[in-house]
Structure 1
Amino acid sequence: MEYKAVTNKTTDTAITEAIRTSQFVRNKVLRYWMDNRGVGKKELYRYNTRVRDEFKFVKDLNSHACQASVENVERAINRFFVSAACRGSDINYKKAKPGKKGYPRFKKHSRSVEYKQSGWKLHPTKRRITFTDKKGIGELKLLGKWDINTIDEKLIKRVRIVKRADGFYVQFCVKIDSTQPLPDTKNVVGIDVGLEHFYSDSNGNHQENPRFLRKAEKDIKRSQRKIYKKKKGSAGRRKARGVYARKHLRVTRQRNEHALRLARNLCLANAMVVLEDLNVSGLVKNHKLASSISDASWYLFRQWLEYFGGKFGREVVAVPPHYTSQECSNCGVKTQKSLSTRTHSCSHCGHTEQRDINAAKVILSRAKATGGHPGSNASGVGTSTSVGCKTCRGKCRQ
């Protein structure tokens, strides 16, 4: 759950100081680990205690917020070692593949500070929150549509303050059962994402590609030019950068809302959704199409499909993407065609169909034809969407 926080200059300064302190603790603990390779979890927390005793501004931050920074370091270290240990095994490497897995790095521009179950207190109306440490944040008014009044305060496990281009937001991590069983449906659908259409499905439907960045590109470039017309270090330049950042933030929110809505509708209407296991990070290396691929947000769309698949008890299946555009959905014979050819015409059986719809049918047929093997999901947490394997909410066979 996320709320917009109503702040003033004093609270802005206090929150920024809390974020910088959290970053400082993380970097100090990471440096300690680098200088003393082999130290364990307990040693990291003990060093955190020493840092709090040494620096007063660190002690002013809630102790649990400092512990959350240590946990951040611990996760980065574990990801690195799991990835390094799995490089010799094909199956295990797929578990380590999602997310950041390189050597832990220092944070330069942190944008959040995280509190656990202490250091904050909700107002009885649950429309205000007070941070009780010595950073001076104090009481913040919360704006939003989430109904947190119905949730027991004991179920709130984390509270995070996040800085964005248009202000500060307060996020609540709540421990609740999000599974919503729905009436059974036997509908299955294969989807082929693209650039001409956002996706085409095996039922012959096309979903329009909104191209949010393309539509806002002219305005964004104009605001970017205004930055360089201002003197470096001036208030005008800082304001111009804020305008530029907010325009990009608006595009990001539009993409997220669009992907969320479509993914939810697909999972509500179908018992199984089949898509391609695309390597989006590899596709964007094509500099001629990188901007369009990023604007389409295929990766974000897959993340939301996995989320709603688990929430609604639907099956989300990812199949290998090789030759889905070339293969005939009627007879299976491959017919070579260029990207400019938008109609599939099979030279073997004479089947003719719109290219993307034909690909969606091929994608669906592959999920029905193979049991496959477990793979990695887009979010990098557990195994929810598998290559050729049905979603089982983390219980997929290993």
Structure 2
Amino acid sequence: MLVLEFKAYGSSKQFSAIGEALRTVQFIRNKALRFWIDGLGKTQYDLNKYCAVLAKEFPFCNELNSMARQASAERAWSAIAHFYDNCKKQIPGKKGFPQFQKNNRSVEYKSSGWKLAPNRNKITFTDKKGIGTLKLKGTRDLHFYQPDQIKRVRLVKRADGYYVQFCVSVDRSSSVEPSGTVIGLDVGLKDFYTDSNNQTIENPRFLRNSERRLKMAQKRVSKRIKGSNNRRKARQILGLRHLKISRQRKDFALKLARCVITSNDVVAYEDLRIKNMVHNHCLAKSINDASWYQFRVWLEYFGKVFGKITIAVTAAGTSQECSECGTVVKKTLSTRTHACQCGCVLDRDHNAARIILSRGLSTVGHTGTFALDASNASGESTSTLVGEILPQQVGS
């Protein structure tokens, strides 16, 4: 499934109509969640049927497309199902009980409620909200895909305007020449990652570098009177600052992950639990700023696209174990050099990257080759999922 995004252009009246649609989606989602909390809705089908009741009871809900109403109820059920899964898995701590939404930023249409122009540069929303026809501007070409391949259309609100997203059903695959190399990655805060060849990538620290401007923008918001136009403008500037940082992180992680995957045939990395790591309040901001999980998601995605093997290994002990003899050498976070009795002296992160590569290869090494031929490699079957057991997922 590909998501193609385009900037939407229209009048202020049309954008007001989009805002009304966003508030309607939030209302339906929250009502569906309350319906479940009261014990009246026990399945997703019950919440979908409840959308028809809301449409009869509230005229503004009836103005929204019927499938968009069902998509709103599906959002509520997605949060409920996530809560149920956490309870079944007996995850320690909070289980993620569904919360009422306060600031919805997207509305999703399925196969109806919208119509794409023949030249594919305009889209018309046909429900009763009055959104009308919006102009589209982007770098992707929709002419490559048939209209029946577009399964869903989203209207998304961001700090710099409104966007239209097209969810296209297509299997993306590509092939590159095999490089014959394998690599292990150890992510960190000093350097973004250190590989098993002792090559490092500098940590960009987008949030840290923009922190001064963020604080100034936040001060302007706090000094403005609530409800005034000046406060609204200050909030918009603050939102633009955060949006820029978010886009910088995504661009960095995407390009770096693609480069790593196309340059290697087997990539091993740590199976980190970021949610647990940010409990350390001294390092939480730096960990979130590094955006390791986003980098991992793109690694696995491009592994599937290019048919490369991606392996997530257990992170426990990778910084303590010696890559030469396997002896455990206890080190604190401030100790940056690994020195073992066997004579192995390496940088701490370099040693950990070698351990990660060794553990990753041990999961597939007994099968002989690593499927270096891109036409025979199965990135989808060997890529691991977050939180799952390696032997059950890594195929030969």
Instruction: Indicate which of 262, 267, 274 corresponds to 2:268.
Output: 274
Instruction: Indicate which of 241, 248, 251 corresponds to 1:254.
Output: 248
What is the CA-CA distance between 1:84 and the residue it aligns to? 2.5
Q: Deviations over 1:245-274 (max 9, x none)?
A: 110110110011101111111111112111
CA contact (8 A) 1:318 1:389 kept: no
Instruction: Indicate which of 61, 69, 72 corresponds to 2:72.
Output: 69
Residue correspondence of structure 1 range 142-153 to structure 2 within 5 A: 142-153=136-147
What is the CA-CA distance between 1:387 and the residue it aligns to? 4.7
Residue correspondence of structure 1 range 109-128 to structure 2 within 5 A: 109-128=103-122
Instruction: Indicate which of 322, 338, 345 corresponds to 1:344.
Output: 338
Residue in structure 2 matched with residue 290 of structure 1 by the alignment: 284
Residue in structure 2 matched with residue 362 of structure 1 by the alignment: 355
Residue in structure 1 matched with residue 21 of structure 2 by the alignment: 18
C-alpha separation in 1, matches of 2:302 and 2:331: 35
Runs of 4 or more consecutive aligned structure 1 residues displaced over 4 Å after TM superposition? 389-392
Instruction: Indicate which of 166, 172, 178 corresponds to 2:166.
Output: 172
What's the secondary structure of 1:200's corresponding residue? strand
CA contact (8 A) 1:317 1:391 kept: no
- Establish whether residue 48 from structure 1 lines up as the match of residue 51 from structure 2: yes
Unaligned runs of 5+ in 1: 88-92, 373-381
C-alpha separation in 2, matches of 1:267 and 1:391: 19
Residue in structure 1 matched with residue 385 of structure 2 by the alignment: 384
What's the secondary structure of 2:75's corresponding residue? helix
Q: Deviations over 1:25-66 (max 9, x none)?
A: 122222222223464344332221121112111111111101
What's the secondary structure of 1:358's corresponding residue? helix
What is the CA-CA distance between 1:383 and the residue it aligns to? 5.5
Residue in structure 2 matched with residue 5 of structure 1 by the alignment: 8
CA contact (8 A) 2:48 2:74 kept: no
What's the secondary structure of 1:324's corresponding residue? coil
Q: Would you say how many aligned residue pairs link Structure 1 and Structure 2?
A: 374
Residue in structure 2 matched with residue 206 of structure 1 by the alignment: 200
What is the CA-CA distance between 1:156 and the residue it aligns to? 0.3
Larger mean Cα displacement after TM superposition, 361-370 or 59-68: 361-370
C-alpha separation in 2, matches of 1:20 and 1:180: 41
Question: Structure 1 312/371 Cα, relative in aligned 2: closer, same or farther at 3 Å?
Answer: closer
Residue correspondence of structure 1 range 128-143 to structure 2 within 5 A: 128-143=122-137
Q: TM-score, normalised by structure 2?
A: 0.89
What's the secondary structure of 1:329's corresponding residue? coil
CA contact (8 A) 2:23 2:104 kept: yes
RMSD: 2.2
Question: Structure 1 287/81 Cα, relative in aligned 2: closer, same or farther at 3 Å?
Answer: closer
What is the CA-CA distance between 1:82 and the residue it aligns to? 3.1
What is the CA-CA distance between 1:110 and the residue it aligns to? 0.9
Q: TM-score, normalised by structure 1?
A: 0.88
Question: Structure 1 39/211 Cα, relative in aligned 2: closer, same or farther at 3 Å?
Answer: closer
> Percent identity among equivalent residues?
49
C-alpha separation in 1, matches of 2:50 and 2:255: 46
What is the CA-CA distance between 1:370 and the residue it aligns to? 4.4
CA contact (8 A) 1:113 1:161 kept: yes
